[in-house]
Chain A
Amino acid sequence: MKFSYNWIREFVEDLDCAPGALEKLVTMKTAECEGIEVAGALLDRACAARVESVEPIPNSHNVKAVVDAGRYGRKTVVCGAPNCRAGLITAYAPIGKKVVNGVESDGMLASGAELGLNRDHAGILELDAQVGAPIGGCVPDSIIEIDNKSITHRPDLWGHLGMAREVAAILGHALKDPVRPDLLPQGAGGIRIQIEDLDLCPRYSALVFENVTVQPSPLWLQYRLTAIGVNPINNIVDMTNHVMAELAQPMHAFDADLLKGGTIFIRPAKAGERFRALNEEEYTLDPSNLVIADAAGAIALGGVIGGLDSAIGDKTTRVVLESANFLGSSIRRTSSAIKLRTDASMRFEKAQDPANTVRGLARAVELLQELSPGIRVAGGVADQKKDIPAPPPIELPLDWLERKLGRAVEPAEVRRILGQLAFGVSEPKRGVFSVTVPSWRATKDISIKDDLVEEVGRMVGYDSITPQAPLVPTAVPPENAERRFQHQARQIFADQGFTEVYNYSFLSEDTARIFGFDPAAHVRVTNPIASDQALLRTSLQPGIWKNITENQKHRDTFRVFEIGLEIHKPEVDLTAEGILDLPDEIVHLVAALYDRDSDGVTGLFEIKRAAECLLPGARVCPAEARSFEHPARAADVQWRGETVGRLFELHPSLVEAGRAAVLDLDLQAVERLAAVETKYTPIRRYPSSAFDLSVIAGLREQVGKLESAIASFAGPLLESIQFVREYSGPPFEAGRKSVTFRLTVGSAERTLSSEEVGTIRGGIIDGMRELGYELRV
């Protein structure tokens, strides 16, 4: 939203604060300013000038003109405008000398666009003025741009008067209201109004004007609108835009002679109703859209845009001027449904003040008397409205205000601030103010005492508050064990050479299929940014796979990991019963080790070792491979009796060159199992005994299983069992291998005798033989 400094100055008495300083004050106390631009920079130097003679310049479409430029004297300028002719009164601007087409040109003759007055650059200005006079009374202006996001809660700040009220309050100056309600005609309304739903349209006011002349606006109005980014069109439309920019009240003018019947209806659109808008688009409406209609059909889309068929044109002589109020949420819905945001809809969305409609009409009457001489009002104000009770006053205890702000404010200062912002203040009880809210702040913005804390706080200045430590008891915060464990896991994997990645939570259907996941089993985004980001990930593995594919362009070997959330549809879908469960989100850790020149074996064992750093004593149990896993290299990871993850090599068809070992752990389960209290066991005082055993087994027999079997036969005196080596080749027959373990046995009470050790050993040998294994003793 752009604000003209000169416009604001009209409403703030003795405004003596320069635009730059004002911008800073407004930013600190009201809304964020995004910068200042100068409009009409040339206007303080330009003046009206008479073209005295014009002669062509050979080989150029430019002409050489001699002008009488008032106080600048007689000047020769080169001009390219087609309307440059002797006798014309136009604008001269002294911008320095330069040689054009071999002619020295001293200054320029300017178009409206060049001076910033309007967007017209078809020719130089044609003025009706004394030579040497300033241009249309226009002077340079500073345009302050305010961030729209910072005024979404302030319907009043969408007009200059609202901003001027802030400026007046900030500086402690008086505010002048441009509206003269006495100009409103009395008597019966000039047109009938029928509102179907007063919630959607709390107020609709209108005036009918006769003897209207549609013509270009005077330069001051064109300039004023151009400077704040609005296109001048004609006097009637420009007047409505002027009132909107001034009072935040959008208006619309209909050509009264193009309306059918004598009543304006405000009603929901009929299903499929068609409407041709001013922007020359045709919309098909439905009952969620509010239309303004005559007897024949929609003439405007309420609060959004007017209709083409009833638009003001050159021949218009009678005008119906609408000044209405609409329900913000309804306007917002319609405007986003048809993807059309207008200056009007942006304002109505913010919940405008219904009391403002007739104020807008009063201002219009005044402006139109100047803009369309001879204009007459036909009848009185037509006005239908909902009864809106005045909001109850807000009780504001001053000690409470002080506790909220963290500083004291003198009661007189509180009263001054609120008063300048147009709140009514009384003090029925000592120390407690009773505050009434002005209608333009009551629509949505201010309803409770906390809202008043902001009004007082921003005006006294938040920089006047001294930071202060709260006096509260010390407390040990409840621990987040899950998060602490995740950080531990992160650190362990980083220490083992893995680099952490953050991947997106999205997954494409194609990738899901590559991994054999059913797309239908995923939570789906209804408005994805791209079709390949439509699913939420149920596994971190596809993301890690992408990391592998992309990094192998630059690296021959690397390790990556991610800790993130798997998002699974709730197991039982109760949506049909109206219960919307959240998905199950499970923290997983996925790590991968890629090696270009490898058979994959080292990588798998290296990642298994890393897993054991996090899960000491974890066991790996070969399991049937899924489609994206190497069919002979996939296993479950078990820890403390539960399956907590998966260790596998990515199917070589998914890896262009080289091998990738992957570990996927359910960190939620791991964290739960990790919570074991450590208790000390005394160090044994008696020496242990150790011996080796070698078992002959088939080549694909699992060492882990042999180990468990041996351990089960060793009995309670077994301290530890360790794999030493495995060997195949002579003297063993093909398909056989020898696996050697070292066993340590001992007792807490005594040193075992050699007979006792021999008995344990014998028991193992017998047991293993019974299972069909041969032992090398």
Chain B
Amino acid sequence: MLDGRIQELESSLLARITSARSAEELEAVRVEALGRKEGALTLIGKEMGKLAPEDRKRVGALLNGAKQKIEAALESKGRQMADAGLRVRLDAEWIDLTLPAPGPRRGHLHPMTHIQRELEELFVSMGFTVLDGPEVETEYRNFDALNIPATHPARDAQDTFWLEGGNLLRTHTSPVQVRGMEKLGPPLRMIAPGRVFRNESVDASHEHTFYQIEGMMVDRNISVAHLLYFMRIMLTAIFHRDVNVRLRPGYFPFVEPGFELDLQCLLCGGSGCPVCKQSGWVEQMGCGLVHPNVLRMSGIDPEEWSGFAFGLGITRLAMMRYGIDDIRLLQGGDLRFLEQF
């Protein structure tokens, strides 16, 4: 008799658990079934004492089985309901992640800064120190100490901004060579990137203000072969690829011998194109072995020490690297240009 009641209760309670719609409803079913005083299954348990011993075991097992099923059903249904609730709450927290993030966007470094930093890092890694020199220089350091006396025709090639009192705006970074030798003494390896000035009218390919990097190494028995070695490493690093260079005679009063260094045209690989004027080579920079007069004027004995020096126009380098066709953009301050770097 009890067997039938238990089975009946079990199936009706399980059905109600399945159909429960809320946590309250579920709790009501739990109390009705398992409540400590009035729960239907609890009450049956109390009636067990009246059963014959031979029935007690069987009915007890049946009752426990029913209780366990109902408890499991309650727990599972309860968890279902909680999960569903969390889902609803979190769903309400939907946001549009495609909206732009607030706050400023990262700014941009000037293209010349990119190039200068790259070169500085390269040379520091090869044991060169980075030196600064002033934009205003003495006539002595800009010309005389570089073996360019006042009567020298090379002065014509460098249209100079003169300042009241007789100083000048440096026409090249080469005076930093002089400062480097005075400051560091031999042996030394230095570079000096910086702003230089020439009194020229400005158009798409000419500027009165531009950037150069000067480099110098003074040590024992420095040769043209060593110069070539460093120039090739430098240009390979700058252009991120193997380059071919060649030296040909070039005249700069502060080096002897002096060279123009040509880079095999990166566009055509040397077969000739409009950029290299069909020659296969592009004039890149001036360099040479430091003139003994220059060493001597900076207090270095040319019989004991020798060195090489080079000067590279990095404004032109930046223009090549980024394909900039108007030099004026570099100092024009136009954000539409600067934000591209």
Q: Which residues of A contact B (CB under 8 A)?
A: 27-32, 149-153, 328-329, 332, 336, 349-350, 403-407, 448, 450-451, 453-454, 457-458, 462-463, 465-470, 472, 474-480, 482-483, 487, 490-491, 493-505, 523-529, 536, 543, 546-547, 550-551, 554-555, 558-561, 565, 567, 575, 580, 582-583, 585, 606
Contact = CB atoms under 8 A, between A and B. Distances in A.
B162 A527 contact: yes
Contact of A536 (B136, B156, B208, B219): B136
15 contacts: A405-B223, A406-B228, A450-B256, A453-B256, A462-B228, A462-B246, A494-B106, A494-B107, A497-B107, A505-B195, A525-B163, A526-B164, A529-B202, A546-B333, A559-B104
Contacts of A487: 117
Interface of B: 103-110, 112-113, 117, 120, 124, 127-132, 134-138, 150-151, 153-154, 156-157, 161-167, 169, 184, 187, 189, 195, 197, 199-202, 208-209, 217, 219-226, 228-229, 232, 246-251, 253, 256-260, 289, 291-292, 306, 330-331, 333-336, 338-339
A478 B104 CA distance: 37
Nearest to A528: B161
6 cross-chain pairs, A with B, having the tightest CB-CB distances, nearest first: A406-B225, A497-B104, A329-B151, A406-B223, A454-B257, A477-B129
Contact of A582 (B167, B217, B249): B167
B248 A526 contact: no
Given A27-B248, A465-B228, 14 more contacts: A29-B249, A150-B250, A405-B225, A458-B257, A470-B221, A472-B219, A477-B124, A477-B129, A487-B117, A500-B108, A525-B163, A554-B336, A555-B335, A585-B134
Contacts of B330: 502
Contacts of B333: 501-503, 543, 546-547, 550-551, 560
B331 A504 contact: yes
A714 B249 CA distance: 76
A28 B150 CA distance: 30
A403 B221 contact: yes
B108 A494 contact: yes
B106 A525 contact: no
Given A500-B113, A525-B169, A558-B335, A462 B248 contact: yes
A406 B224 contact: yes
Contacts of B201: 529
A34 to B, nearest CB: 9
B137 A150 contact: no
A328 B30 CA distance: 117
Contact of B224 (A457, A490, A585): A457
Contacts of A470: 217, 219, 221-223, 226, 229
A660 to B, nearest CB: 14
Given A150-B251, A502-B330, A585 B136 contact: yes
A27 B259 CA distance: 11
B127 A475 contact: yes
Contacts of B161: 525, 527-528
A275 B157 CA distance: 29
B138 A582 contact: yes
Nearest to B222: A470
Contacts of A30: 249
B165 A152 contact: no
A551 B258 contact: no
B153 A328 contact: yes
Contacts of B105: 497
Contact of A403 (B106, B223, B232): B223
B229 A476 contact: no
B111 to A, nearest CB: 9
A496 B106 CA distance: 6
B110 A501 contact: yes
A454 B224 CA distance: 10
B223 A497 contact: no
A86 B150 CA distance: 64
Given A500-B113, A550-B334, A529 B208 contact: yes
Given A477-B128, A487-B117, A472 B187 contact: yes
Nearest to A446: B256
Nearest to B283: A32
B251 A404 contact: no
A288 B340 CA distance: 55
Contacts of A524: 163-164
A475 B163 CA distance: 39
Contacts of B225: 405-407, 465-468
A7 to B, nearest CB: 22
A598 to B, nearest CB: 14
A468 B229 contact: yes
Given A465-B228, A483-B130, A502 B165 contact: no
B249 A31 contact: yes
A505 B162 contact: no
B190 to A, nearest CB: 8
A525 B208 CA distance: 13
Nearest to B155: A332
A98 B135 CA distance: 65
B291 to A, nearest CB: 7
A447 to B, nearest CB: 10
Nearest to B161: A525
Given A480-B129, A495-B106, A559-B104, A405 B224 contact: yes
Contacts of A403: 221, 223
Nearest to A24: B279
